[in-house]
Structure 1
């Protein structure tokens, strides 16, 4: 079976050799450099202990310095799976998500045609480059001079010029004997709708050749010289050679530069890429007149695990960044992400380089934000969350966004970061009183003066809700002091309503940290609610005086404390529920003595739970008034009373 032209090229582009080989070998982590795609392992083809098997992931080839085995991903699958060429292609295509093409008897003919189309494109590229140096290209040269583009740079990128004529390129190619269908097939000319002679696609434009990863010219991009032209930039139409959503400008050179350790930068246009490359950022690419596609993201991740999106500092640049987020979220996996570097407002990378040089760009790149921060910025910037409904709406939007991430671990980490950002947004309050001139410069960091809310704090308030929050704080602090107990109280902890959002975040953190060591749990807790908030929790008087907090190593004491406080919370909940049901019954037609009995039972349960329920070795007896007393202490008290002679003014009796 013959494969259609370009199928193997795309398969190799989509396939990571290190992932294919990694299923059969154990990488030598000391010798390998994953960031550069330079991987080493013991050879899977012969018995050895040393790591002599080398995989160059960027070039897509392997070689063993012991047995001299070599090849690409297809050869590796053939050798290790013992299959023929086409079966190996099917295996790799299935992994890459590429459907196998139907049998095509004309495949060789099409391959020959593609070869001819590439030759036509190279002829056109040479023609455009020559036109830039003629008198017709004077205005274009002046424009490039104004952009400070040196002649060496023009030659390096093959910059050319399309004259302002309807059939200039057409006549040139026809004069060289190129068939009309090849000119049309290459996307260089269009047929006239008026029955006249075909006309050139590119006219009066500066030309940027677009090359694939193998450095073959497959398309052109043109910048209009006429400021009134309806399209400032124009790309070749899609052809047998060119699919704009599956290619990148400067792909091949950028891949080579990234292999040498340079950061992969994704700019918006040709001039930005050229300016970045000439400023020393050789691993720069650009999409081709469209939003970044899924295929282009996969191409980028083949080059680098964390490309930097360098976008213009304007509204359009932000919109482009947000579109990239929507495309990338369902594709994210561990080790594959994006960072975003937004240029100063009103500038693109080319402007910044001309104004501040490479240092200015490097500063922006160094401050590139992770994708989760830009996702948060998109959903919160310019909005006010001053009501529960607005906060809930934000939570829903963010949950829906994060659910798109397929990797559970990565999804969890995104959730943690979002939770921390949410905590900062909703918990941060101005701490400097408002004066006539508004807030001071350090209003967010200054100590907060006493206020009415502070005077009505939990330690001062005596209402039921305050008591619930106090008990929740003690439970959480006790479990943080002895996190190994979380598993024992997991069901009760999950059911704890958590009247304070901070308590809820801390409770969730404890449940997620099951089985982890105490130091790790403490670290996760600091990330969940912030180090300052955690210190405030432990410094609170009602927590600080708790015995198990003062003695963090006493697990049994912590167990008794948590059990007691959970029992009191449950009793309180039942009493509140019982009272509510009783009130409802009293207002109805079925009120009788059973309502009074139920209310009494609820109160008795609450009273019983309020007593200390610590499980120690003491025996208890119930006095006539219902109070529980330590049996041993009661016996000693009785002996003391019996020894007192009330007839002698309370003096002890004489012993006989």
Structure 2
């Protein structure tokens, strides 16, 4: 894929990053034997159950089960996406993140990317300066005060003013040809005729949009009073801004709260800052678009509870439904999604100023659970007094319920559905696309010889060279043999791999979660006995494969007969199994 980060760079990044130092700088670790410990940063606990291994470059919490390598820690602790975590680790080491070439479009350098962010920050500061010094400043400040905002909130959210003149920003920031071109590419300026640029935002209250790392990446501009034009004008998409992935106010919410117990989704920038003014510092807004799957993924990586706040009209109900559909795949056990619908004519901005913080938060406490919103919406289109209506409800509801990764939520919704259509929960459970039985099987974890061998190899990659590499065993239909041989092959190809690097190799593969479980398995084998234990386990697996092949030949001999080559193979197999 064009632009993909090379595997070799990810290996190097993990090799050069000491996970103990990385976590110690954020959490504070204490030596405990050959490993390090702390109270887990991912859940509340009084005694430490969070362990970090320098040998494996891997962390694990015995309390909540959180585990992973340096990249996983950055993703979970700093709430970053995979690429952002890579870039953050690379920045700590002063490395430039390379990209695989696959298109004619040249990859931007670190300096070029930094230049984009610097220009956006310059622009934000320009708008802040204009808020104080432009000839319209007093009128704009009166408008801000009239909306109930204090100077402290304005400063926290970097709110500014885009001058009414056509070329103020272009003249101030676009001092040379390169900067003028940059203004166009970052959609801060427009050009209808060659060489004649004008500001994209004019005579608007400006809300800088910051990414998860606090960098200004775009703007939202709001008209004031009776000004002409659309109420909000948002930055178009650029190379550093993708509105479907960003949430206004998320960075500020993280800065204001050590831990975000819940996040409130509202519709506008002014709603976010008005709520912050009332010390409700956990609100975010989508950027001129409906709440997306990526938004929901980001939110549920950041908090346990998401509350969606929408108008009570048809448009608000439709927006709530889209948000619900996008949230379902992320509603794991412990995650919560609720909805608040506001009275007609009210928005969070107006309502919080009327009611104040206490009464507004009481509304949030009585928010509707997502299950009520789901069945209310589905029932609108179904006549539940008829068999046809019940069949339609069943048909519409099951695909949505099957998206839920939580068995508890699935059972709860199936019980409600069963009551509505007059069926039993057991009858409905069998119809799910992801049956409960499969999830039960996945949760059971029995240490078979194959899992033992794979677990030892994941935790001690150097064991790969202690046994012969026999790729021909992959032809035997023994569960897990292909994975074991692939692991061995990767370890032999990369003899200095740590557990962290080996797991990273499999991050995008279906075996990743199983390997993570085996990486934290407590095998309790003495270090001096590891090699012998691994060799003996592999010998058992090899014998399994040979027995399987021998039985296959015996069956063929009885049904079809063996040729000379197969008779010789049969004799050799019997001899090998006697050793």
TM bucket (normalised to shorter chain) is 0.5 to 0.7
CA spacing shift, 1:234–1:394, aligned 2, 3 Å: same
Superposition pairs for residues 130-141 of structure 1, below 5 Å?
Answer: 130-133=129-132, 134-141=134-141
- 2:100 is aligned with 1:102: yes
User: Distance between the aligned counterparts of 2:86 and 2:155, measured in 1?
Assistant: 39
Q: 1:147 to 1:178 in 2, by over 3 A?
A: farther
Deviations 1:429-459 (A, max 9, x none): xxxxxxxxxxxxxxxxxxxxxxxxxxxxxxx
Shift of 1:290: 0.7
Take 1:227 and 1:61, find their aligned partners in 2: how far apart are those partners? 55
Distance 1:169 1:39 in 2: 55
What is aligned with 1:373? Answer: 372
Distance across 2 between alignment mates of 1:201 and 1:39: 55
Per the normalisation by structure 2, the TM-score is: 0.57
Shift of 1:329: 2.5
Q: CA deviation at 1:34?
A: 4.3
- Residues 391 and 317 (structure 1), Cα distance of their counterparts in 2 relative to 1, 3 Å cut: same
Structure 1 CA distance for aligned equivalents of residues 316 and 185 of structure 2:
34
Tell me, yes or no, if structure 1 residue 41 matches structure 2 residue 49: yes
* TM-score normalised over the length of structure 1: 0.51
CA distance in 1, matches of 2:292, 2:353: 30
Q: Which residue of structure 2 aligns with residue 207 of structure 1?
A: 206
Residue 250 (structure 1) shift: 1.6
Distance 1:42 1:179, change over 3 A: closer
Distance 1:159 1:39, change over 3 A: farther
- Does structure 2 conserve the Cα–Cα contact (< 8 Å) formed by 1:36 and 1:260? no
Contact 1:36/1:259, CA 8 A, preserved across alignment: no
Q: Distance in 2 between matches of 1:128 and 1:510?
A: 57
The aligned counterpart of 2:237 is: 238
Once the two structures are superposed, what CA deviation does each residue of 1:305-355 show, in whole Å capped at 9, x if it has no partner? 221112233332221101111222344433334211222332111111111
C-alpha contact 2:188 2:199 (8 A) present in aligned 1: yes
Residue 155 of structure 1: CA displacement? 1.6
Take 2:279 and 2:424, find their aligned partners in 1: how far apart are those partners? 46
Equivalent residue runs for 1:255-654 within 5 Å: 255-381=254-380, 385-406=384-405, 410-420=409-419, 422=420, 501=422, 504-505=423-424
Structure 1: segments with no counterpart, 5+ residues: 22-27, 63-69, 78-84, 93-99, 424-500, 515-656
**Inter-partner Cα distance in structure 1 for 2:248 and 2:214:** 11
Task: Kindly indicate whether the alpha-carbon contact (under 8 Å) linking 1:189 and 1:200 is maintained by their aligned counterparts in 2.
Answer: yes
Q: Give secondary structure in 2 for the equivalent of 1:338.
A: strand
Structure 2, unmatched stretches of 5+, are 24-35, 77-81, 90-97, 438-579
- Aligned residue for 1:186? 186
Question: Is the alpha carbon distance of 1:189 and 1:38 closer, same or farther for their aligned partners in structure 2, counting shifts above 3 Å?
Answer: farther
Which whole-Å CA distance do the structure 2 matches of 1:283 and 1:413 have between them? Answer: 29
**Size of the alignment, in residue pairs?**
388
Q: For 2:107 and 2:47, how far apart are their aligned partners in 1?
A: 36
Aligned to 1:144: 144
Shift of 1:41: 2.9
Question: Contact 1:61/1:72 (CA < 8 Å) preserved in 2?
Answer: no
User: 1:615: which partner in 2?
Assistant: none
Partners of 1:39 and 1:224 lie apart in 2 by 53
Instruction: Quote the Cα distance in structure 2 between the aligned partners of 1:44 and 1:264.
Output: 30
Contact 2:190 2:199 in 1 (8 A): yes
Distance in 1 of aligned mates of 2:45 and 2:312: 32
Higher relative contact order (CA 8 A, sep 6+): 2
How has the CA–CA distance of structure 1 residues 36 and 346 changed in structure 2, closer, same or farther, with 3 Å as cutoff? farther
When Rg is computed on C-alpha atoms for both structures, the one with the higher figure is 1
